[in-house]
Amino acid sequence: MRVTHRLRAVAASAILLLGAAPAAVPQPAHAAAARPMENLNRGVVAVRASDTDVLITWRLLGLDPDGIGFNVYRSTAGGAGVKLNTDLLTGGTNFVDSTADLTRRNSYYVRPIIDGVWQPASESFLLTADHAVEPVVRVPLRAGGPIRYVWVGDLDGDGGYDYVLGRQTAPQTVEAYRGDGTFLWSVDMGPNSLDQSTIESGSSTINLGHADGMTVYDFDGDGRAEVALQIANGVVFGNGVTYTALPSDTHQAITILDGRTGVPRATAPVPTDYLSDGSMGTRFGVGYLDGLTPSLVAYMKNRQDNKDFNLMYTAWRFTGSALTRQWKFLRGDQNLPDGHNTRIIDLDQDGDDEIAEIGFALNGDGTLRYSLSDEGVVHGDRWHIADMDPSRPGLEGYGVQQDNPSGLREYYYGAKNGNMLWQHVEDGVADVGRGMAGDIDPRYVGMEVWSFSGVYNARSDTLTQATGPWPHLGVFWDGDLSMELFNDGRIEKWDPATGGVARQVTTWHHGAVNIGTQYPAMIGDIFGDWREEVVMTNAAYDELVIFTTDKPTITRLYTLAHNPAYRNDMTVKGYLQDHHVDYYLGTGMATPPRPNISYVGS
C-alpha cells in the first residue's frame, strides 16, 4: 500500500516539543445570554484503592470561582464527621484517606469554602464495610435481558445522575433507575420492536446498528430530565397505558416521557415523507440550536428498494406540555455523506449549536452549512470533532472512510467551514473501519489521530509512530493530561516510546462484560472529578459495573459534564464514540475558560 498526503488550505506546521507550548488562543466572544445546564451536585464518590487507601473524588462545577477550596470529611459507622485534610484543598478535587478503619462502613462528604465562607456540605457517599479493593461502583438492577446502552440524566432533580437503559429483549424494554439503583419504571416497546434487523427494523425498535431511538435530557428546564423515545403502536408506557394513536404500524411518533414515571408528557407524529419505504431508524441527540434552549435533534433513515437510503433530520422543542417540530431537512438526491454518529456542537463558537455528520453540516435552523463531498468524502464509520490543534483557532474534524473509490483513507479539516487541511490517499479503494483522535503522545503539541497507517500529529500531519494502539475508544483515567484507551474490556495506557500498552484495568476481573464484542454501555464523566467513568454490566445483566478512577491527580478541571460540547455528545449513541470538550484537553493545555452557562433552577 502506498499512502500519499494532500495538504490543503494551510501548510504543515512545525512540531513543537513538550514545554514549548503555543500561546493561548484568544477565546471567541460568547453569546449574550448563558446556556442553562444541569444544576449538578458534587458527585462525591469513593473507591478502595488498596488495602489501606480510599480515593475520594468530587466535581468542580462549571461556575465554581477560581479560589474555591474543599475540606473532606469521613463519618465512620454513622458517627460524627471528622475532617481529614490539614490544609484547605485547592488543587485536584480528590483526596487519599489512609487512616480509615475499612472493616467498618465509612461515609465521605466535602464542604466547599469560598473567600473564607463555609458552603453547605455535599451529599455523602457510603463505602461499605470490608469493601473490595476495586475501582468500581456497583448499581443493582432488576433481572432482565441484555443491555446495550445506558444514558444518564437527573431524573429526580437531586443534582446527581440517574440511569436509563434499553434491554435487547423481544419485545424490547426501557428501564429507569435512580443513582442508587432504586427502580423507577419500565416501558414495553411492544410488538413493533420484535423486528430487530440493523438495517430495516420495526417501527418501535431501539438500540440497533447506529439507531438508538432514545435519549435523556432536561428539555424544559425544570431541573428534572425527561426521556425522549421513538414509539409506534403497541408501546406500553410506565403507567400501563398502551399507545394506539397512529394510523398504521409503519407510522412513528416521538414522545417525551416524565423521567420519574415513564408516563408521556407530550407526543408528536414523525413526518411521513419517506413512509412508502417503511419505518425509519432513529438517532437522537440534544443541542442548543439557538444557544439558549435545548432541542431534540432526530436523524432518521430508511432504505429504498434500490438499496439507497433516505435521510431526514428534524428538530423539536419541548415546552413542558407540548412537543413542537422546529424544522425538517430532507437529503433527497443531494450528495451529503452521512456516517454512524452525529455531533451536535457549536462549530463556529458563536454560542449556537450546529449539527454535523461525517460528510456535511447543518446550521441550527436546519439549512445546509457545508458538504465535504467535493473533497472526495463518502461514508465512514468513525469521526471526531474537537480542538485538536491548540495553536489554530476553532475546532477540527478527523474522519476515516469506508469503501472510498478515490482511495481517500483519512482526512483532517476545519470544522467551522469544512476547509480541508490534509488528506491521506492510498492506491485503490480505501476501507478503514476505525479511527481515533486524542492526545496520546506528550512529546508533540496537540492531539494525535490514527487508524491503521500509523499515528500522526494532527496539526502537522507528521507520522510519529508507524504502529499505533488499536483505534477504538478513549477514556481519561490516570490523572495526567494524556488520554488513556478502552479496548475490548481493558483500560490501557499507550507508551509512544515503545509502541506498547500498559494495562490499567482488566474489567472482566471485576465481573464486567462487553456489549456485543467490544463496547461498554457508556463512557462519560458522570460523577467524581473530571476523569471519565466506564459503564458496563455484569454477565447476568442485573448490575451496572461502573469503573471510576482509583488514581489521585493534581490536575483541577471543572466537570466535563458542564462543558456544552461534551454534555451534548453524552446524549448521542450511534456507533459509540468519544465525547470531546470544546477546548484543547491534553498535555500543555491552557486553563480552559469558564463555560458560558447558568444552572437551571438557580
25 pLDDT more than 70: no
CA distance 381 to 10: 26
Please give the average per-residue pLDDT across 129-142, as a whole number: 98
pLDDT band at 31 (very low <50, low <70, confident <90, very high): very low
Domains of the chain, residue spans? 41-131, 139-335
pLDDT tens, 484-517?
A: 999 999 999 999 999 999 999 999 999 999 987 7
Q: What is the CATH number of domain 41-131?
A: 2.60.40.10
Q: What is the predicted pLDDT for the residue at 403? A: 94
Q: What is the predicted pLDDT for the residue at 316? A: 98
Distance of CA 51 to CAs 45, 54, 99, 230, 562, Å? 18, 9, 11, 47, 34
Compute the Cα dihedral for 521, 522, 528, 531 and give only its sign. positive
219 pLDDT more than 90: yes
Nearest CA to 80 out of 43, 112, 121, 131 is that of 121
Nearest CA to 546 out of 224, 165, 229, 222 is that of 165
Q: What is the predicted pLDDT for the residue at 332? A: 95
Please give the average per-residue pLDDT across 218-226, as a whole number: 98
Any idea which fold 139-335 has? Lipocalin (2.40.128)
Which residues have a Cβ under 8 Å from the Cβ of 155 and sit 6 or more positions away? 162, 164, 176, 178, 184, 216, 224, 225, 259, 260
433 pLDDT more than 90: no
371 pLDDT more than 60: yes
pTM: 0.95
Please give the average per-residue pLDDT across 100-108, as a whole number: 98
Q: Which residue has the higher pLDDT, 6 or 148?
A: 148
DSSP 36-63: EE-------EEEE-SSS-EEEE-PPPTT
Strands 3-7 and 35-37 come out as unpaired
407 pLDDT more than 80: yes
**Residue 98 buriedness (CB in 10 A; 0-12 / 13-18 / 19+):** exposed
Nearest CA to 252 out of 231, 273, 221 is that of 231
pLDDT tens, 246-285?
A: 999 999 999 999 999 999 999 999 999 999 999 999 999 9
Whether 41-131 and 139-335 share one fold: the answer is no
Q: What is the predicted pLDDT for the residue at 397? A: 98
pLDDT tens, 552-562?
A: 999 999 999 99
- To the nearest whole percent, how much of the chain has pLDDT over 90? 90
What is the spatial order of strands in the sheet that 455-457 belongs to?
Answer: 436-438, 448-450, 455-457, 462-465
16 pLDDT more than 50: no
Q: What is the predicted pLDDT for the residue at 197? A: 82
Average pLDDT, the chain: 93
Q: Which residue has the higher pLDDT, 364 or 28?
A: 364
126 pLDDT more than 70: yes
Nearest CA to 436 out of 405, 408, 412 is that of 412
Q: What is the predicted pLDDT for the residue at 406? A: 95
Indicate the SS3 state at residue 192. helix
Please give the average per-residue pLDDT across 25-36, as a whole number: 61
19 pLDDT more than 90: no
CA distance 140 to 408: 47
Amino acid (1-letter code) at residue 285: G
Composition of the chain by helix, strand, coil, percent to 5? 5, 40, 60
